[in-house]
A and B are shown apart, each in its own frame.
Chain A
């Protein structure tokens, strides 16, 4: 069955510094991959998604992610973080078996230092 691993539970970054959040997946075929962000007390908002084609995907709020099949990774990056980026970030992969829906990682909590 599919699975997603986000190895970092918490990450602290200074405002203006670059950011990389790690995501590794396990999936039997070519995966559809997603990154969502959740602000405190809110639902999840889609940042970006990868289906096929260009392995570097651009998303909203200045985020991008790179799909690396050889490493089974889909890491999220941002060149310069803002205090408003403090949130929980979830990587997800579409469920195998033809059923719609996603399997999520456990999330990475991003803290921004002034």
Chain B
């Protein structure tokens, strides 16, 4: 089975802190994604990557950056966390090709106080 692992399930950070959310996949997938999930808004794409060191902005990239130094790992970075970034963050991966199944991790709950 494909496994997408988000190392931190629950985090509490202070406003202004730099926050790293880590994600690892074990299926040699080319594509990796970071989504944000908020009640009533569904999932919104923050960033995605289709190869090592490559990244593309999604629909809501402001306030976030990403890093993909290795194929299996995709990190989401909040340079200076703010309270409006309190949310559930979901990492996902897929093989190249539109329509390939996207596999999700279990999510990271981030609270910024």
Give the shortest distance, in Å, between B78 (CB) and chain A (any CB).
20
Tell me if A102 is interfacial: C-beta within 8 Å of chain B. Answer: yes
Tell me if A103 is interfacial: C-beta within 8 Å of chain B. Answer: yes
Q: Which of B31, B40, B41, B106 contacts A101 (CB 8 A)?
A: B31
With A101-B31, A101-B45, A104-B43 known as contacts, the answer to whether A49 contacts B107 (CB < 8 A) is no
Tell me if B61 is interfacial: C-beta within 8 Å of chain A. Answer: no
Contact across chains for A90 and B98 when beta carbons are under 8 A apart: no
Among A11-19, A38-46, A65-73, which stretch is in contact with chain B?
A38-46
Contact across chains for A43 and B107 when beta carbons are under 8 A apart: yes
Q: Which of B59, B99, B106 contacts A42 (CB 8 A)?
A: B106
Across the interface, name the chain A residue whose C-beta is closest to B95. Answer: A100
Q: Find chain B residues with CB under 8 A from A90 CB.
A: 42-43
Contact across chains for B43 and A100 when beta carbons are under 8 A apart: no
Mark A74-103 against chain B: 1 for CB-CB distance below 8 A, else 0. Answer: 000000000000000010001100111111
Q: How many residues of A contact B (CB 8 A)?
A: 25
Q: Find chain B residues with CB under 8 A from A101 CB.
A: 31, 33, 45, 48, 58, 102
With A90-B43, A106-B42 known as contacts, the answer to whether A99 contacts B99 (CB < 8 A) is no
Q: Find chain B residues with CB under 8 A from A51 CB.
A: 99
The number of inter-chain residue pairs (CB within 8 angstroms) is 63
Contact across chains for B101 and A107 when beta carbons are under 8 A apart: no
Mark B87-101 against chain A: 1 for CB-CB distance below 8 A, else 0. Answer: 000101010111111
Contact across chains for A100 and B42 when beta carbons are under 8 A apart: no
With A101-B45, A104-B43 known as contacts, the answer to whether A44 contacts B99 (CB < 8 A) is no
A36 CA to B44 CA in the complex, in Å?
14
Mark B8-30 against chain A: 1 for CB-CB distance below 8 A, else 0. Answer: 00000000000000000000000
A residues touching B (Cβ–Cβ < 8 Å)?
9, 32, 34, 36, 41-46, 49, 51, 90, 94-95, 98-107
